[in-house]
Amino acid sequence: MTEEQLLEALKAIAHPSRLKILQTLAKGETNVGEIEEATGIAQPTLSQQLAILRKAELVDTRRQAKLVYYSLDDATMAKVCHALSPLSPDRGAPAASESGRKAASGVANFARLHI
């Protein structure tokens, strides 16, 4: 996945309606009517948002008779997740206070809550 493709995918994901659609599709293959019902996004807007997701190659389509079914494009979603994985905090890393680092003076410092 090129940097340009990654950025296009991230822009597509970052829109509230498109994120809602992707979250719906994460539950499994769904037709347009079911996506509309699950998300509350009206048909004209839904079609526009699905077109953007198709262009970003985040969804696959399958036609059965007059119905169009959508599903997540697993390969592209995996590439996006893989590209973002270096940005994820390491769960095994010690908290800043446990690592021996001191708070910088003159800088806003925020407490870490442990629940």
User: Per-residue confidence at 1, pLDDT binned at 50, 70, 90?
Assistant: confident
9 falls within a domain? yes
59 falls within a domain? yes
pLDDT tens-digit series, residues 27-84 = 999 999 999 999 999 999 999 999 999 999 999 999 999 999 999 999 999 999 999 8
* C-alpha distances out from residue 44 to 5, 59, 96, 107, Å: 26, 18, 49, 48
User: Per-residue confidence at 88, pLDDT binned at 50, 70, 90?
Assistant: confident
> Residue 91 above 50 pLDDT?
no
Between CA 3 and CA 53 the distance in angstroms is 17
> Residue 97 above 90 pLDDT?
no
46 falls within a domain? yes
62 falls within a domain? yes
> Residue 92 above 50 pLDDT?
no
Nearest by Cα to 59 from 7, 22, 4, 15: 22
The pLDDT assigned to 108 comes to: 58
89 falls within a domain? no
Determine the structural domain holding residue 54 and report its residue range. Answer: 3-84
Between CA 79 and CA 85 the distance in angstroms is 10
97 falls within a domain? no
| CB distance 26 to 72 below 8 Å | yes
Q: CA triplet 72, 49, 5: central angle to 5 degrees?
A: 60
The one-letter amino acid code at 37 reads E
The pLDDT assigned to 101 comes to: 56
36 falls within a domain? yes
The pLDDT assigned to 52 comes to: 96
CATH of the domain at 49: 1.10.10.10
99 falls within a domain? no
How many structural domains is the chain composed of?
Answer: 1
> Residue 112 above 80 pLDDT?
no
